[in-house]
């Protein structure tokens, strides 16, 4: 805002006073709008912005005191500086106006040089305030951007904890559900496509999985190449996380089917699920990540890597927890790397009550 090219509202019930101020301010390069009384002034303030108000006190319908009260009670207008110009030259009137929020007070008849100096001082202060508010808005926008970025990396409770402490963040959870999924023969598929095309396809698929994780109240942990990891029951323990993981696994299969139908692709995914205790925490000091450790995590990874394309393989423990709610097919005993022989099951669908 240029102090010499500002928008000023003149409020006075005497036409001669309005005309005098109008001509004088226009010669100084200001845009001037006049109002015959306080009520008209408030109506004008609802339709256009002003940088400064010059206001008389003694007016019909609504006097200058009432105009000040209305302005300062409105959060959207209280920042507009007001200079009172009045024939009332008693100290009580001056004090009352200042207490109501007026920026300055001039007696009639006013000195033109003094008026110009007071106007320029008010406009300069408003200009500095406007710059400060713009900076604060920009700062707030940057903080919100940083917050969104942080929450895209870490769960909200963990992000809040990280902001409050510099110590290592690590917690043990007695019961969590872990899901791993990957695209079958991704290496072979990618050999015949450009890097940009493959990244675009993965982004399409994993974005759909991200939406499913949010929909089911689960926490995406990470993607590693074409592998996707999500967990239920942490960082905030909750009931029903195993059912939520099962629902997400089934929905992931539906999402891949839809993706293939829309794109003409023939992608297939393997999914593995395990449940049990895990340790979760943040590692790193710069490119940090929230991650999981423990036998449950390793077993879920093995359920996926040694599963069947297009199927959802779960451990016997997971089967025991979900049987009666979902339909399973017994796969039998499978040799699992690092675990030996394990009895596993294939999750088929939810059992719908009749």
Domains of the chain, each with CATH number or no CATH:
7-145 (3.40.50.2300), 154-350 (3.30.70.1230)
- Whether pLDDT at 168 is above 70: no
Q: How far apart are CA 29 and CA 197, in angstroms?
A: 59
Q: What is the pTM of this model?
A: 0.62
Percent of the residues in the chain that have a pLDDT greater than 90, as a whole number? 63
Place of tokens 């997971």: 318
Calculate the alpha carbon distances from 178 to 223, 241, 242, 273 in Å.
14, 10, 9, 6
Please provide the DSSP assignment of 26-42 as one string. HHTT-EEEEESSHHHHH
pLDDT at 21: 93
- Whether pLDDT at 147 is above 80: no
pLDDT at 297: 94
* Poorest-pLDDT segment among 116-120, 278-282, 335-339: 335-339
Calculate the alpha carbon distances from 123 to 7, 52, 103 in Å.
10, 7, 11
Mean pLDDT of the residues in the chain: 89
């Amino acid at each position: 805002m240029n102090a010499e090219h500002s928008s000023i509202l003149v409020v006075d019930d005497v036409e001669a006073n309005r005309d005098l101020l109008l001509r004088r301010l226009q010669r100084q390069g200001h845009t001037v709008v006049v109002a015959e009384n306080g009520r008209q002034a408030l109506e004008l303030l609802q339709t256009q912005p002003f940088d400064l108000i010059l206001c008389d006190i003694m007016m019909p319908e609504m006097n200058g005191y009432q105009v000040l009260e209305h302005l300062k009670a409105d959060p959207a207008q209280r920042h507009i500086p007001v200079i009172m110009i009045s024939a009332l030259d008693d100290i009580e009137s001056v004090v009352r106006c200042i207490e109501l929020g007026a920026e300055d007070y001039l007696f009639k008849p006013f000195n033109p040089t003094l008026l110009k100096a007071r106007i320029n001082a008010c406009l300069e202060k408003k200009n500095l305030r406007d710059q400060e508010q713009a900076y604060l808005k920009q700062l707030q926008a940057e903080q919100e951007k940083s917050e969104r970025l942080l929450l895209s990396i870490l769960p909200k409770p963990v992000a809040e904890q990280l902001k409050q402490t510099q110590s290592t963040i690590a917690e043990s959870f007695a019961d969590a559900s872990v899901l791993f999924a990957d695209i079958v023969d991704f290496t072979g598929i990618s050999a015949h496509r450009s890097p940009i095309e493959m990244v675009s396809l993965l982004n399409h698929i994993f974005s759909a999985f991200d939406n499913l994780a949010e929909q089911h109240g689960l926490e995406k942990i990470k993607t590693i190449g074409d592998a996707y990891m999500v967990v239920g029951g942490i960082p905030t323990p909750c009931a029903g996380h195993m059912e939520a993981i099962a629902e997400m696994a089934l929905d992931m299969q539906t999402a891949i089917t839809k993706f293939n139908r829309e794109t003409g692709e023939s992608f297939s995914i393997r999914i593995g699920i395990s449940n049990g205790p895990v340790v979760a925490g943040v590692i790193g000091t710069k490119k940090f990540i929230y991650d999981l450790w423990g036998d449950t995590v390793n077993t879920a990874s093995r359920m996926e890597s040694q599963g069947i394309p297009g199927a959802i393989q779960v451990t016997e423990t997971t089967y025991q927890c979900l049987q009666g709610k979902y339909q399973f097919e017994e796969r039998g005993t499978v040799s699992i790397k690092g675990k030996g022989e394990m009895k596993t099951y294939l999750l088929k669908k939810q059992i719908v009550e009749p």
